[in-house]
């Protein structure tokens, strides 16, 4: 076994590549890796991990969304849960298949319904306006810490119904869960070292009696009270909101600022028409792919684009590469908020497609609209630094200057 999964033969016609996609240098600056992955063919065999990887749009979408042939229940990381016990109980929505997935997904979908999210939009807008005003006062600030981390950890725990808020632990929890999906490298070990501090705190906050009587969490526990799921499952679903819904939005907000600061012409377009905030957010998702890679496991012997894929094969679906595939996206390497990037894979595709996307969009649009309305110019005030993570593409530091009118 390699990293907890079956060692496989190289399928006929598939190039062997010794790149390590989880090398911090690749994770920090993945564009050459993405381009080479696409250029090599529909799939490559990664000799470091004895797994396949795909980064062209068509194949990535096919593998990522075909839950019958490429299951999630064997883990969306390198480890195959049918062969090795996972480090923690797997997510009961992300890492399960139908029919169980259908049941848990329905509960979360109800909690995050368009109505529930719609009711929060005014609060989200107010919080965004207030934060942008404070940052304009400062002028120059650290955009990852003071905006990308601050905003979601202000509005999201409140929306879930948490009574306590601990920004650092909320961000660290997501970072830990997402890095744990990768191989047993230093990133994973460093992230896991935070577990003893972070996990008990999260577990405690997500208990029924700790949550406020309104919020996403309360709706999930109502499903337990109605006998649809158990109380233990309800706790796990609330935790999955915290693991999936914080570091991802932190990543996209930091990246959106980076995109706008690096492309002043695009920021001018946004200012001229703040309604473009929605598309600026989608284009940031396409262009920067906050979840860069998740895996699937072939559950049967099968074939994709003429490549034979044996049962038990782990396939790295490199969403970051697929979202920059020039054969699908004209001028893929341009950040263009006039593009309508429907069908990007940053929020997944198919039955596991991001169940929190309405929340993410509401947060993103609130922040970008406030910036468009209040800020005259955005400039980088120093070198951006990326934060390598085995699944998430996010900035660690982004010094920025906002100027007002």
Minimum Å distance from CB 154 to ligand HEM? Answer: 14
**CB closer to ligand HEM out of 112 and 368:** 112
Q: In whole angstroms, what is the distance from residue 49 CA to residue 34 CA?
A: 17
Q: Which is nearer to ligand HEM, 244 or 401 (CB)?
A: 244
The answer to whether 258 touches 397, Cβ cutoff 8 Å, is no
Rounded CA separation 254/394 (Å)? 7
Residue 299 Cα distances to 52, 81, 315, angstroms? 14, 12, 11
Q: Between residues 6 and 286, which has the closer beta carbon with respect to ligand HEM?
A: 286
CB of 214 to ligand HEM, least distance (A): 16
Comparison of 17 and 294: residue with beta carbon closer to ligand HEM: 294
Q: Considering the complex, state which of residue 252 and residue 371 has its C-beta at the smaller distance from ligand HEM.
A: 252
Cα 132 to Cα 117, 125, 139, 183, 395, distances in angstroms: 22, 11, 10, 38, 19
Least distance CB 353 / ligand HEM (angstroms): 6
For residue 381, CA distances in Å to 28, 137, 141, 394 come to 20, 16, 8, 18
Cis peptide before 99, with omega less than 30 degrees from 0? yes
- At CA 145, angle to CA 147 and CA 384, rounded to 5? 95
- Minimum Å gap between C-beta 393 and ligand HEM is 9
Q: Which residues bind ligand HEM (CB under 6 A)?
A: 72, 76, 93-94, 105, 108, 112, 240-241, 244-245, 248-249, 252, 290-291, 294, 346-348, 352, 354-356, 359-360
3-state secondary structure of 246: coil
Q: In angstroms, rounded to a whole number, what is the distance separating the alpha carbons of residues 85 and 101?
A: 20
- Residues 315 and 297: their CA atoms lie apart, in Å, by 6
Q: How far is the CB of 299 from ligand HEM (least distance, A)?
A: 15
Given the DSSP bridges, would you call strands 16-17 and 70-71 parallel, antiparallel or unpaired? unpaired
Q: Report in angstroms how near the CB of residue 405 gets to ligand HEM at its nearest.
A: 30
CB of 93 or CB of 224, closer to ligand HEM: 93
Smallest distance from ligand HEM to CB 404, Å: 27
Q: Do 99 and 82 form a contact (C-beta atoms < 8 A)? A: no
Handedness of CA 125, 131, 134, 136 (dihedral sign): negative
Per DSSP, what are the bridge partners of residue 377? 403
Residue facing ligand HEM at closest CB distance: 356
Specify the residue, 3 or 282, whose C-beta has the smaller distance to ligand HEM.
Answer: 282
Q: Which is nearer to ligand HEM, 8 or 94 (CB)?
A: 94
CB of 194 to ligand HEM, least distance (A): 20
First to last CA, the chain: 60
């Amino acid at each position: 076994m390699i990293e907890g999964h079956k060692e496989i033969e190289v399928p006929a016609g598939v190039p062997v590549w010794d790149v390590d996609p989880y090398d911090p240098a690749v994770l920090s600056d993945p564009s050459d890796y993405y381009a080479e992955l696409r250029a090599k063919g529909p799939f490559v065999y990664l000799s470091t991990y004895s797994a396949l990887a795909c980064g062209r749009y068509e194949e990535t979408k096919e593998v990522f969304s075909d839950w019958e042939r490429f299951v999630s229940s064997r883990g969306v990381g390198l480890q195959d849960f049918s062969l090795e016990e996972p480090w923690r109980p797997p997510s009961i929505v992300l890492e399960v298949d139908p029919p169980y997935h259908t049941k848990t997904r329905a509960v979360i979908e109800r909690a995050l319904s368009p109505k529930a999210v719609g009711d929060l939009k005014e609060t989200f807008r107010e919080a965004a306006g207030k934060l942008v005003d404070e940052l304009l006062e400062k002028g120059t600030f650290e955009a990852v810490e003071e905006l990308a981390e601050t905003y979601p950890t202000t509005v999201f725990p409140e929306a879930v119904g948490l009574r306590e808020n601990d920004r650092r632990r909320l961000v660290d929890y997501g970072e830990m869960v997402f890095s744990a999906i990768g191989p047993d490298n230093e990133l994973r070990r460093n992230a896991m070292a935070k577990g003893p501090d972070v996990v008990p705190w999260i577990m405690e906050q997500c208990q029924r009696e700790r949550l406020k009587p309104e919020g996403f969490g309360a709706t999930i526990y109502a499903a337990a009270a109605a006998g649809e799921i158990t109380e233990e499952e309800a706790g796990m679903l609330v935790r999955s909101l915290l693991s999936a819904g914080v570091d991802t939005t932190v990543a996209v907000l930091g990246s959106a600022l980076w995109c706008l600061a690096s492309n002043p012409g695009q920021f001018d377009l946004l200012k001229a028409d703040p309604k473009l905030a929605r598309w600026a957010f989608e284009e940031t998702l396409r262009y920067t792919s906050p979840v860069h890679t998740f895996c699937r496991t072939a559950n049967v012997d099968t074939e994709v684009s003429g490549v034979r894929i044996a049962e038990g094969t782990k396939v790295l679906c490199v969403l970051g590469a697929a979202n920059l595939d020039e054969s699908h996206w004209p001028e893929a390497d341009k950040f263009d908020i006039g593009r309508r990037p429907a069908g990007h894979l940053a929020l997944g595709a198919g039955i596991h497609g991001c169940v929190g996307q309405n929340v993410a969009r509401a947060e993103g649009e609130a922040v970008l609209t406030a910036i468009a309305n209040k800020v005259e110019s955005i400039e980088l005030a120093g070198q951006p630094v990326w934060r390598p993570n085995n699944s998430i593409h996010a900035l660690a530091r982004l010094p920025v200057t906002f100027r007002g009118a």
